Amino acid sequence: MERGRFITLEGGDGVGKSTQARRLVARLRAAGHECLATREPGGAPFAERLRTLLLEHGQEAATPLAEALVFNAARADHLAAAILPALERGVWVISDRFADSTRAYQGAAGGIDDAVLRRLEEIVVGPHRPDLTIILDLDPELAEARWRQRAREAADERGGALALDRFEREGRKFQARLRAEFLKIAAEDPGRCRVVDAGRSEDEVAEEVWRLVSEVLAP
């Protein structure tokens, strides 16, 4: 049985990662590949509980290191309980975010020393790095406009208020630091990472993602 392929999508908030992950999975399935569509934080029962803790916590402050450890704990569970068993069964795993998000969010934007994060990554991910990481790159101002549009639509559907605005909470500088870190990660690991200009139409980005997946992972 041939091992499955492990593909991750990364990028800042509002770059369209989740949409592109969904489209890639649909296309891979149509091409006959069994796929596991998953996400981080989360993707396995215990990791999903940690996701709730990480993303829906109230006013209590968590130190960036504590957060980095919990993101890594969720990742250890996700790998052991979902990703590795699927790959061994020949299933392709498409994850909306993975370890590079910790480097960008807790590292560049959160201030944790990169050497600490690399050590954690070595322990948690070790040799199980993705076969391909697609980094969706977008100007933070455009990302913010898209994100606000989606938040408005979601609020209209629910008939409720806008969700807490991540851009307002964390600011554009934060998004700019994220962007720079993702580009740095891509430059340092060109064998694994590909940067895609996410400023184009959804269809054009999907086409480019598909081209990269077909080229890089063709048997």
Cα gap 194→214, rounded to integer Å: 13
172, two tokens? 């554009």
Among 8, 13, 16, 86, binds ligand TMP (CB under 6 A): 13
Our finding on whether 77 is near ligand TMP (CB under 6 A) is no
Q: Which stretch binds ligand TMP (CB under 6 A): 28-36, 101-109, 114-122, 131-139?
A: 101-109
DSSP code per residue over 70-125: HHHHHHHHHIIIIIHHHHHTT-EEEEES-HHHHIIIIIITT---HHHHHHHHHHHT
Instruction: Tell which positions 200-219 bind ligand TMP, by CB under 6 A.
Output: none
Q: Distance (Å, rounded) from C-alpha 191 to C-alpha 215? A: 13
Buried/exposed code over 53-81 (b: 16+ C-beta within 10 A; e: otherwise): ebeeeeeeeeeebebbbbbbbbbbbbbee
When binding is defined by CB under 6 A, the residue of 6, 92, 105, 174 that contacts ligand TMP is 105
Closest distance to ligand TMP from the beta carbon of 1 (Å): 29
Residue 17 one-letter amino acid: K
Place of tokens 């322990």: 123
Which of 102, 120, 121, 206 touches ligand TMP by CB under 6 A?
A: 102
Q: What number of chain residues touch ligand TMP (CB under 6 A)?
A: 10
Q: Which is nearer to ligand TMP, 38 or 101 (CB)?
A: 101
CA neighbor of 3 nearest in space, from 155, 128, 159: 128
Judged by DSSP in three states, 6 sits in strand
Residue with Cβ nearer ligand TMP (30 or 55): 55
Residue nearer to ligand TMP on the CB measure, 109 or 195: 109
* Residue 137 in contact with ligand TMP, rule: CB under 6 A: no
Q: Going by C-beta distance under 8 Å and a sequence separation of 6 or more, which residues neighbour residue 161? A: 155
By rule CB under 6 A, what string of x and - marks binding of each residue 35-74 to ligand TMP? Answer: -----xx-------------x---------------x---
Residues that bind ligand TMP (CB under 6 A): 13, 40-41, 55, 71, 97, 101-102, 105-106
